[in-house]
Amino acid sequence: MVEGEGSNMSKHYVLVHGAGQGRWSWFKTAPLLKSEGHRVTAMDLAASGVRPESLSDIHTFRDYSKPLLDLLESLPEGETVILVGHSLGGLNVAFAMESFPEKISAAVFVTGVMPACSVPRSSVLEQFFATAPPDLFLDTQFSRENNENVMLLGPECFRLRVAQNCSAEDQMLGEMLARPTSVFMEDVSDTPNLSEEKFGSVRRVFIVCKDDKLLPEEFQRWMIQNNPPEKVMEIEGADHMPMLCKPIELSLCLLKIAGGH
């Protein structure tokens, strides 16, 4: 059990993983939320986790987001979720906010890609790649497929840049389960800007991971300054995988958010 400041009323959390990962990444955090009486759905996005599609079957970011969009569309009228996006999963959350704002009571960006309404959706990705040091991705493999850049995160990159504060077992799990992925930059660049009426109407919370070496705190703060959320929370000592290295602290943050909605 987690002693937090959550609501006594049961909430439905939908957890969205980052690029190249899957619902497995939430295996420590999901039980903590469930132990407090909440419903938890951890998603595998298209061509991710244990889903059967290959990345070559996915042509757009909307295709990649389809399992999440289908879930939200299937919710009964009046039912809402707390949508939690990690890393690139923040962009999936943003797409969902634009499509189904009435079904999302709060959107949580866990060191997540958080775009703004006033600029193209791809701007935040372009800023990240423009400011990233040349050696950031270490042994990550890059290629081209369907006119998009494809990446397969390397074991050294995962250990040193993504999950440096995680246990050796969790690092090995991440290395073993990594799948090729794409940020679909070309497609996202051609997608209309997010709207204040839809995306902008959903309550947003950003959780800063203070020891993130992939999306460093400086970049996280830049996203926050560009598009201030309602609330900013912090997790000290959290690398880019807080659900693995700081699951209790992350769960407490999410429970506090439930208390407010």
Cβ atoms within 10 Å, residue 167: 11
Distance CA 218, CA 15 (A): 24
Catalytic residues: 87, 212, 240
